[in-house]
Amino acid sequence: MFGAFRPTNSLSGGLLWKIPWRLSKFQKQRQRKRLRAVDSVVATLDKALTKMSITTRAVERWKEEMPVEQEMVPKDKYSIFDRKEKKYRKSIRKLPKWTRVSQRVNPPGY
């Protein structure tokens, strides 16, 4: 049972990668930090542009459509919609380049 050559999943089955389906609390904390960093960039842009009384479509659209970090539900922060998954949800880390792209809204009802 114990010892150097015990039959573990990776030894008996060959290639086996185990990816936890949820994020750890530290990964979640860093994810929130990244979301807030993007929020602060948008806030800075908005403040600077309103000072000069200019509006930009990109900033306005983002403000209209995207929730800030505090408004998001935890489900949306750490997982995304996927129609092929069992409960239509998968971890956000499955999204390619997930630490450098914005993915905040999901289809309503899922």
Partner 1 sequence: MSFFRITLTRSGIGMPKRTQGVLKALGLRHRMATVFYPVTPEVAGQIMRVKELVTVQEVDKALTKEELRAERRPEAGFYLETAAPR
Which residues of the chain form contacts with partner 1 (CB under 8 A)?
34, 37-38, 40-42, 44-45, 47-49, 51-52, 54-59, 62, 97, 99-102
CB 41 → partner 1: shortest distance, Å?
5
Work out how close the CB of 108 gets to partner 1 at its nearest, in angstroms, rounded to a whole number.
Answer: 24
Q: How far is the CB of 54 from partner 1 (least distance, A)?
A: 5
C-alpha–C-alpha distance, residues 29 and 23, integer Å:
10
The smaller minimum CB distance to partner 1, of residues 49 and 88, is found at 49
Nearer to partner 1, 62 or 81 (CB): 62
All residues at 6 or more sequence positions from 88 whose CB lies less than 8 Å from its CB, including other chains: 81, 82, 110
Is 100 in contact with 68 (CB distance < 8 Å)? no
